[in-house]
């Protein structure tokens, strides 16, 4: 799967529109909903905010919630992306010792850091249901999305915690 530039540009404009109308956690939730609906190979998408040495799930969209609502940065692909301050694409999660299992259907994963002034604020985490679901076009597109949502990730950290589900 991939994100061709002819789809990336209008999608980025839509993300801009969301961010112009919503802030913080509400904006992140709507961006997750949009991306999951727009790209079939993004069946589960979450945005985590870094809180010290822990990643906190702020928004997600998919068929089911994840049990991983708080992830130490010392664990998993999500932690690896923070520790190495880089996008991590795992073509086959069954071959990755770093992978923290969430869903039986997950076969691949991409994790993209969200940064401000070079500091990792959080990340976009997407699980794919096929091996090699993500490529360089996904990386490029999602890195641009990550730049755009950085202020919303920062703001989510100052909002009251959502009520337990």
Residue 161 forms part of a structural domain:
no
pLDDT digits (tens, 9 = 90+) for 1-57: 688 888 999 999 999 999 999 999 999 999 999 999 999 999 999 999 999 999 999
Residue 101 forms part of a structural domain:
yes
Residue 163 forms part of a structural domain:
no
CA distances from 97 to 32, 89, 159 (A): 27, 14, 35
CATH number of the domain bearing residue 43? 3.30.450.40
From 100, 92, 44, select the one nearest 76 (Cα to Cα). 100
pTM for this structure? 0.92
pLDDT digits (tens, 9 = 90+) for 115-151: 999 899 999 999 999 999 999 999 999 999 999 999 9
Instruction: Show the tokens assigned to 131.
Output: 């091996």
Q: Which domain holds residue 19?
A: 5-156
pLDDT digits (tens, 9 = 90+) for 60-110: 999 888 888 899 999 999 999 999 999 999 998 777 667 666 766 778 999
Residue 126 forms part of a structural domain:
yes
Report the number of distinct structural domains present in the chain: 1
Give me the half-sphere count of Cα atoms (radius 13 Å) on the Cβ side of residue 112. 24
Burial of 71 (0-12, 13-18, 19+ CB in 10 A): buried
Residue 120 forms part of a structural domain:
yes
């Amino acid at each position: 799967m991939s994100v061709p530039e002819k789809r990336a540009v209008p999608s980025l404009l839509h993300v801009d529109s969301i961010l112009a109308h919503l802030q913080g956690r509400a904006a992140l939730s709507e961006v997750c909903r949009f991306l999951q609906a727009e790209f079939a190979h993004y069946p589960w998408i979450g945005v985590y905010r870094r809180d010290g040495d822990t990643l906190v799930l702020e928004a997600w969209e998919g068929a089911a919630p994840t049990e991983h609502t708080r992830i130490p940065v010392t664990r998993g692909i999500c932690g690896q992306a923070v520790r190495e301050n880089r996008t991590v694409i795992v073509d086959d999660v069954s071959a990755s010792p770093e992978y923290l299992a969430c869903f039986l259907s997950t076969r691949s994963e991409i994790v993209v850091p969200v940064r401000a002034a070079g500091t990792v604020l959080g990340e976009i985490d997407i699980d794919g249901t096929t091996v090699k679901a993500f490529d360089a076009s996904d990386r490029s597109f999602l890195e641009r999305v990550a730049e755009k949502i950085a202020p919303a990730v920062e703001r989510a950290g100052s909002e009251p915690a959502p009520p337990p589900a």
